[in-house]
Every structure is written in structure tokens, then in C-alpha cells.
Amino acid sequence: MLAAAAACAVGCDTKRRSGGPMVVRAAEVARAQPHVSMQPLAARASDPRAAAPDEASCSARLERARGLTGSVLADLPRSARASLLAQVKATPVVFFEPPAATSADPVVRQWRGELTRSQLPGRVLARLLHRFRRYPAFLREVILTDGYVYATEPALAVTLAEGVTPGALFRERSIVIERGATKLRAESDEQGGYRYVDGPERGKAARLVLFDRVFAAGASVSPPHHADLEPLRDELGFDELELDRATADGIVARARYGELRVPTLLTRRGTTLERACEAPGASAPKLAAFRAERAKRQQGVERVRAAILEGVDESLPFDEPRTEFGQQDGKLRQEWRQAYFQRASHYDFNGDTYRVFDAAGRPLVPEVCIDFVVDSLERAGGAWYARAGEAPAHAPGSIDFDGTGMLNRRNVEEFLALARRRSDWFDLRPAPPEEQVPFKWRDRFFSQLYAHRAEYQPGDIVVILGERDDAKLHYHSFFVFDADPVTGMPTLVAGNSGRPRVRAWAAEMASAPKRSVFARVRLRSTFLEQTGVARPGAPQRPLTAKAEPLRSPASP
């Protein structure tokens, strides 16, 4: 019944919204993106047979390390860490010792106290930036903590990550942004900001995210307090890593691989952690099988994530006319297609003019939320529109939703119906009623998400449902893009609700706080394998549905 009441023309949130204070600006793509390796796990993983000394030796080393005095690595309880990282864009590092403010300047301490204690830190930050805009060194002392964008309380964390730019803190020609294990160089531009001069985001505006460390190039800085766990997760393939303590003999941890819990000893190398040894015991064969399957699956997930980032980089427009007569969301795509195949450079709708291509010649295909999901999956299989200057065409790929038997590929309910029919491609999990907590009850929402975090993994598609500000029920859909290596909490999501973005889970929910998670769709290995099917010109049959009778798209 809810599904029928919620149906809309294109099946998703079709209104532009700011998304609250956690929105990352459209053209950023991954320029302020926490480190995400796009290299397949299989290419990164070391041979598990050569992973460690023998089992008895590793068990003895772990036992000895547990008996030593050590420091606890977590400055937040696991559930609090998970909630924080789902509310703000961050690099999910761990700190060997939390950064600490060291300034003895009473004015600095006064402003830091006001900023950290305020219930509305955004207002304090605005006053601070306005009053001291000519004194970047002072602002660094107040805002940064030993050089880090650091906070453990969500409101302050969001304020710093979204409200502080490198240009407000520095006047030097060059700066270094240490993001996890990666150091990014940026140089000042004519607008008073900074742009990356190396790395994949070269030439794009530099941004800061939570737990970044930033300093002037050539400056003397203290050794880093943090370690980046993502390279270790990429190598070993674990879901979560429970860090016990750091001792002189190494870091005692326990890694979760599905249902397996594997005692692991780690060593620190700069800003990364490395496996010294592990002791899976009788579970060693299961661990090897898990890693092999994870590596295989991860290759497909990485291709989907690469396709997602393509759409984000292109800043594909949301399919909502600037001028509307009634409800006309979703109308621009058909106008765009007509103009595209007629080799036009522009098209008109309701008196407004729209471009067919961007300045780089890339097709500006209008999308609603489910379009972004479907388009990204097809692009992962090699399908997309030709660029400007080429013959207009939609290149065939190994995935084709036009052949799936969907009545309307632009409708969320139809996508869920397809997921229900094709259980060989998709694992559809409707959220039980007790999990359907509206986002307006934020603490309960994140508590439920944390309790069921294993159900939401990178590459999964999430459907939310609830009242928008027009008092009507609406769907919205997006991808889970990344998860915290420590807690396994899904943290970053990717969707198009105004423009394609990768942002914190909370930002995606903020425009309609009465919505709750309705369903999760996981791409099975049989589907993901299709993204790697080569199509060397010869017509190879795309992934399409079998001829099956269509069923009513009732609520899953």
C-alpha cells in the first residue's frame, strides 16, 4: 500500500535541495574525496599462503603482545565513531594519540572554547572567519588541532569539514594536505583559494575533509598521529577491524571477515598499518575462500564505483526544468535525446535553453535519482553516449536495462520489482518495520544503521521512502559508496538529488527527514561479472531479463 501511495512520475526525489550543511559542492567529484583505491582487490592482495609465520608462532606473538602495557587506539566508542563518520565526509583514520591543542594564547583558547562548546558552531565559525580573515595564522591555531581538521562531536565536525577552506587558513604559495596515507600538494590560485597540482584531481579546487592534516609546504611539522587503514583493508579484505592496543611488540587486533573473527598482529609503518601475522586457526580454509570471493566481487564493485565517479565528475544535470508548468520532472531527458540524435548543441524547454554537451564535449544527460543508479550500472558495463564531434550513438554495453522487461526504467518501484524477479542478479532486502526509522530521529536512525551495518556494503543500492516537504510520499535511491574500515559502518553514499555527489549518508537524507530506509538491493556476483565482459565491436548479447511474466510492483 505504501508503494502505491508513493508512486511518482519518475519514482524518486525530483526537487533540488541544498541538502543541509553537509552538502559537498557539485563539481568536486572526488577532489575532496577520502582516499578510495580504484585498483581491484585481486591486484592488490598479497598471496594469503605467504601471509604470516606459522600459526603457533603468531599465536605466541599475539599472546605476548596482549600481556604488554599498551595504549588504546580508539578515542571514541565504536558506535559513536560509526555515527560520526556517517554524518560528515571524513578520512576514516585511527589516531594513536588524539591531536591536542597546544596554544597558550588566551585569545586563541577563548575562541576555541567558544567554538567547541557552542550548540551552533557554524555561527561561531562564521564570526571567527569574518573577524580574523586577515590573520590566517591565528585562524589555524583556533580551527586546527595540531594541524588536523579534528572533532569528535558531529555538529562541530560537520561545521569544520564543510565550512573551512584552505584559502581561509593559508597565504603561502604551496600547502600540503595529508589525507590518510596520501599527501596532496596544492598551490594558491587567483581567487584566493588553492588547487591541487598533483594526483588524480590535479587542477581542481582543493577542499578539506574531517581528519585531514594541512600545513604549508616546507614547514616543520610533528610526526603524524594517525594511520590510514584503507590500504590494509584493500590488501586483506576484512569487513571490520577491532583494534585492541598498541604495544612495543605490535598492534593487537581482530579482523572480521563475514562470520569469521581472526586474531591479527599489525605493525605501524608511517601512516599505514601492515600485517605482521594472523592466527585464523581451523578457519584458515574458510578465510582463504572468503578472500578469494571478496577479491573477485571487489573487481565488479570497483568498476561500478568508477562509473559513479564518471557521472559525478561530469556533474550530470538533475532532470527538473528550470521553469515548470505543473509537475514536469523527468521531461528533460527525452528532449535531450531528441536534440542529441539530431546533432544539436542546445535544446529548449518551457522557454529555457539547455546544453547537450559540457565544455569538454561530454554528454550532459539529465537524470533523476534512479537514472543515476541505472546509468551507472550500464556505464560499468561499457555503455554510454558518444561525445561531441563523434557520430551520435549510445554504445552497447554488457548491461542493458532496456532489455530487462521493466515497464519503466525510470521508476524506483519498477527497479525493485526487477530486483524481486531476478534474484539471480540481485539480493533484495526489504527493511523490516522496526528498521524503518525516520531520519528526523537521528540518534535512533544511526543506531539502527549501525546495528545492521553488514547489510549495507559498498556497491549496494539503497531505497528510502517517506514524506517530503510537499506532504507526499516519495522514493529516493542511491549507492553505498564506502564504509569505515574500523566499524564497517556505511559512511559515504553516491546519488543524484540535484547533481551527482559522493557525500556522507546524513547529507543524502537531510532534505527529507521523514524518510526512512525502505529496501536494499545488492548486486550479486552473477551481475557484477557482467561489468567485466569485453565487447570488442562484435555484438555480444547484453545482460537482459529472460522472458518472464511481469508481476505487480507491490511493496517489497
Q: What is the pLDDT of residues 341-381, one digit of tens each?
A: 999 999 999 999 999 999 999 999 999 999 999 999 999 99
pLDDT at 295 over 90: yes
Indicate the range of 7-21, 250-264, 374-388, 418-432 predicted with least confidence: 7-21
Q: Is 504 helix (H, G, I), strand (E, B) or coil?
A: strand
Mean pLDDT score, 431-449 = 96
pLDDT attached to residue 471: 80
User: What is the C-alpha to C-alpha distance for residues 262 and 241, in angstroms, rounded to an integer?
Assistant: 10
Q: How far apart are CA 242 and CA 94, in angstroms?
A: 11
Mapped onto helix, strand or coil, the DSSP state of residue 441 is: coil
Is it the case that residue 513 has pLDDT exceeding 90?
Answer: yes
Residue the block writes with cell 597546544 = 102
pTM for this entry: 0.86
CA distances from 13 to 8, 28, 330, 421, 449 (A): 9, 22, 11, 24, 21
Other Cβ atoms less than 10 A from the Cβ of 228: the count is: 25
Task: Output the pLDDT for position 245.
Answer: 87
> Residue 138: how many CB atoms within 10 A of its CB?
18
Give CA angle at 253 (455, 71), nearest 5°: 125
Q: What is residue 45's predicted lDDT score, i.e. its pLDDT?
A: 44
The arithmetic mean of pLDDT across residues 455-484, rounded, is: 93
Nearest to 531 by CA among 454, 457, 372, 425: 425
Q: Is residue 336 very low, low, confident or very high in pLDDT (cuts 50, 70, 90)?
A: very high
Q: How confident is the model at residue 249 (pLDDT cuts 50, 70, 90)?
A: confident
User: Dihedral of the CA atoms 298, 300, 304, 307 (nearest 10)?
Assistant: 110
b/e 527-547 (16+ beta carbons within 10 angstroms → b): bbbbbeeeeeeeeeebbebee
**Backbone conformation region of residue 201, classed left if phi is above 0, alpha if psi is from -120 to 50, else beta:** alpha
CA distance 293 to 143: 44
pLDDT band, very low/low/confident/very high, at 74 (cuts 50, 70, 90): low
> What pLDDT is attached to residue 534?
57
Per-residue confidence at 407, pLDDT binned at 50, 70, 90? confident
pLDDT recorded at residue 193: 94
Point out the least confidently predicted range of 28-37, 322-331, 393-402.
28-37
pLDDT band at 209 (very low <50, low <70, confident <90, very high): very high
- Joined grid coordinates for residue 288: 582463504
The set of cell numbers assigned to 385 is 553516449
DSSP category for residue 401: G
What are the backbone dihedrals phi and psi of residue 370, each rounded to the nearest 5 degrees, phi first? Answer: -75, -25
pLDDT value for 2: 37
Residue 20 has pLDDT above 90, yes or no: no
Q: Report the range of poorest mean pLDDT among 2-11, 103-112, 449-458.
A: 2-11
Q: What is the mean pLDDT of residues 12-23?
A: 39
- What is the C-alpha to C-alpha distance for residues 24 and 28, in angstroms, rounded to an integer? 7
Q: Report the C-alpha gap between 390 and 299 in whole angstroms.
A: 30
CA 100 to chain centre: 28
Q: pLDDT-based confidence at 27, cuts 50/70/90?
A: very low
* pLDDT tier, 533 (very low <50, low <70, confident <90, very high otherwise): confident
The per-residue pLDDT of the chain, averaged, comes to 87
Give the residue-averaged pLDDT of 124-132.
97
